[in-house]
Amino acid sequence: MNETRLNFTNWLINKEYAFSTIDAYPYWLESRIAKNFGISDVDNLLDINNIEFLKTIELTYMSRDLSKSEQDLRSALRKYIEFLIFEKQGNQNENFIENGSKLSFTEGGKKVIISKRSERNKKLRDEAIKIHGLNCQVCKFNFENYYGEIGIDFIEVHHIVPLSTNYKPKKTNPKTDLNVVCSNCHRMIHRKRNITLTIKELKEKLGK
């Protein structure tokens, strides 16, 4: 698997697309779209990273009425263009700081690092819960109190690290770098694209 296909596939995974889409889109870009639409001098669209050229392909070859299968192929091209735009912005803004991490901003404009990898590390999760407890640090919701036995020991862990001007990866401190939050508050923290609310900011929205 070439690097572009791998990165595009990982991007689709991170966007939580269906497995069928994750499998199909890279394959269609490599071998079906150019052939299906008769695009001259092009075989594999994954070899092309010129965003404006790819937009021209859509305007030139896909502006007519399309069948359902052709619409699916167009969707694959559009997602690839979206990926390239995202990747370009990421390179400019250090959007990918390290594997599994990305740059975001708090509502107050501060740069932060969001790491799903650390959120899913069981040892760090256990340490965070030991320090912060099982009540949501935003709304105080407790899963066991509400759901009974099925909610015992359940809480989500959110990883946010302030980004200094000279960022260097460091060991995660579960006391200062991890928060415990309920599912609803966790979704609200990440509700806006490229904005990651701090615990304080979300509390303020709730009037807490």
**Mean confidence (pLDDT) of the chain:** 82
CA distance 81 to 47: 12
pLDDT, tens digit, for every residue of 18-59?
888 888 999 999 989 999 999 888 889 999 989 999 999 988
pLDDT, tens digit, for every residue of 55-72?
999 888 898 899 999 999
pTM to 2 decimals? 0.48
Domain residue spans of the chain? 3-93, 101-205
pLDDT, tens digit, for every residue of 66-100?
999 999 999 999 999 999 988 876 544 444 444 45
For the stretch 119-129, what's the b/e string if a residue is b when 16 or more beta carbons lie within 10 angstroms of its beta carbon?
A: bebeebbebbb
Per-residue pLDDT at 52: 92
Query: Comparing C-alpha atoms, which of 90, 80, 22 is closest to residue 53?
Result: 80
CA distance 123 to 29: 40
What DSSP character marks residue 35?
H
pLDDT, tens digit, for every residue of 151-191?
999 999 888 765 444 445 556 788 888 899 999 999 898 88
CA distance 136 to 4: 39
Per-residue pLDDT at 88: 78
- Reply yes or no on whether the pLDDT at 13 is more than 70: yes
CA distance 195 to 188: 10
